[in-house]
Amino acid sequence: MEINTTTDTVPQFGEQSIKEKIFKILSLSVPVLMGIFLFFVPFPHTTAIKEICFYGSIFIVLILICVKKIDFSFKSPLTFPFMLFVAWAFIGLFFALDKGNSIHDFRAHLLKYIVFYYILINSFNSRKRLIGLSWVIIISATIFSIGEIYYFYFMLGNSFSAKLVTGLPEIPVNWVGYITVTAAIFSLHHIITASNLYVKTISFISLFPLCILSVLTQARSTVLALFLSVIILCFKNKKILIACLGIILIAIAMTPLKNRFIHVNPITSLRFDINYMTFEIIKDFPIIGIGFGMETYKNGKHINLEEYNKKVPEKYRQSSIHNDPHSMLPSIAVRTGLVGLALFVYILFISFKMCWDCIRNGKDDFIKRWGRCVAAVFVVVIVIGNFEPFFSHVPEVVLYTSFAMMTILWRLNKADPL
C-alpha cells in the first residue's frame, strides 16, 4: 500500500521555517536593543531602559551562541591588550585597599564595557550598520542639546552669558563635550562625505545645537577637543577646515568663553595641582595601585587626601581638594599602578594603530574617511578625558563605542567575515 508522506514533511518544514524566523528576529533585535541603549545614554532617569536593553542583548546573544545561530567573533587587535589589562586588574583585587568596591567596579566599569564592546563589533558589523550607529549618536545628542538649551536658558530664564549647568548628576557640565563633540564630528563627517542632500541637510541642522551647547558649557577641554578633532577630520579638506576653525574662533571671541582662555592659571588649568597629589599616592602604591574601585580614592577610609596634599610643594597644593584624579591616565595609574597604566596605554596605542591602518591603507574612500572620523572621535575622548573625571558611565560608553567603531572599520578593511 502506498503511503503519502507529504502531510508528514510539510509541518516539519513549516516548524523549521518558524524557528528560523524566530532566530532571525532575535539576531536583528540585538543591534536594535544596543541602539536603544546608546540613544538613552545622555538622558536621566532612563537607567531601567538601558539595563533592560543591555542585559537583554547579552541574554539573546547567549541564546544564539548556544543554538549556533550567530557567528560571534572575538577576533580583534584589542583582544590581547584587553586580556592583559583585565588580568592585571583582577590580580589587583587581591591587594586592593577596599576589596568590595574594587570587585564592584571591576565588574561594572571594566567587564561590563568589554562585553558591550564585543556585542557592538558583532552587531554593527557592516558599513550600513556602522553609519546607522553614528546616526543613533547624532540624533540622541541633538535632542539632548536642544533640551538642555531650552531648559536652562528659556525655562529657567538664564542669560546666554551664563555658563550652562546641566543639573544632572549623570552628566555634569564638564562631561557634556563627550556627547556633543562626538556627535558634532559625526554630523560634520556626513556633511563632507554624503551625496544625499537630505542627509547633508539633517546633519547640518543637527550641527547647530551640538556646537552651541558645546560652547555654552564654557568648558575649555570641550572647546579644545572640538578644535583638535575638526583639524583631524577636515585635514584633507582645507577650505572646510579653515571655515570650521574660523567659526570656532569667532564663537570663542564673541562669548564669555574667551575669558576662560585669557584668565588662565596654568597650574589648575592643566591639572598640575591634582596630578601632583595623585603622583604622591602613586609613589606609595607604584606597582599594584590602590585597587580598581573608584570610591577608594575619595571615601576617606583608606586614603587621607589632606595628608597627601601636605606632601605637595606649596605652589601646587589644592586649596579645595578634589576627590577624583580628574584625568584618565593618572586615574588608571593610581588604581592599577604603573603596570596597569602601561597596559592601558598599550590599548590606546593599538586603537590608534588600527585607525592609522584604515586611514593610510584603507581599500576605498569609505574606510579611509571613516578611519579619520573615528580617529577624531577618539581624540575627543582622550583630550576631555585628560582634563576631566573620566571613569563613569557616559565617558566609558563613548570610549568603548569608539573602540568598537575602530575595530569594525579594521575588520571591514581586512574583509574578515564577521
Q: Tell me whether residue 187 is exposed, middle or buried, using C-beta atoms within 10 angstroms of its C-beta: 0 to 12, 13 to 18, 19 or more.
A: buried
CA distance 414 to 211: 35
> How many folded domains does the chain comprise?
2
Q: Tell me whether residue 20 is exposed, middle or buried, using C-beta atoms within 10 angstroms of its C-beta: 0 to 12, 13 to 18, 19 or more.
A: exposed
Specify if 303 maps to a domain. no
94 and 61 co-located in one domain: no
- How distant, in Å, are the alpha carbons of 101, 142, 189, 198, 242 from that of 247? 45, 19, 17, 24, 9
99 and 52 co-located in one domain: no
**Cβ neighbours for 276, distance < 8 A, ≥ 6 positions apart:** 312, 313, 316
- How distant, in Å, are the alpha carbons of 128, 141, 193, 227, 240 from that of 200? 17, 17, 9, 21, 14
Residue 339 has pLDDT above 80, yes or no: yes
59 and 113 co-located in one domain: no
CA distance 136 to 117: 16
- 57 in Cβ contact with 119 (< 8 Å): yes
According to DSSP, residue 312 is labeled S
Specify if 167 maps to a domain. yes
234-247 confidence digits (pLDDT tens): 988 888 889 888 88
- How distant, in Å, are the alpha carbons of 175, 190, 191, 213, 418 from that of 252? 19, 25, 23, 13, 45
47 and 114 co-located in one domain: no
| Predicted model pTM | 0.90
- 119 in Cβ contact with 30 (< 8 Å): yes
Tell me the average pLDDT across 295-324. Answer: 81
60 and 89 co-located in one domain: no
Tell me the average pLDDT across 135-153. Answer: 93
Tell me the average pLDDT across 114-143. Answer: 95
212-224 confidence digits (pLDDT tens): 899 888 888 898 9
User: Residue 56 is part of which domain span?
Assistant: 11-66
Q: What is the pLDDT of residue 263?
A: 66
15 and 157 co-located in one domain: no
Residue 313 has pLDDT above 90, yes or no: no
What is the grid cell recorded at 333? Answer: 595609574
56 and 96 co-located in one domain: no
pLDDT band at 416 (very low <50, low <70, confident <90, very high): very low
Residue 170 has pLDDT above 60, yes or no: yes
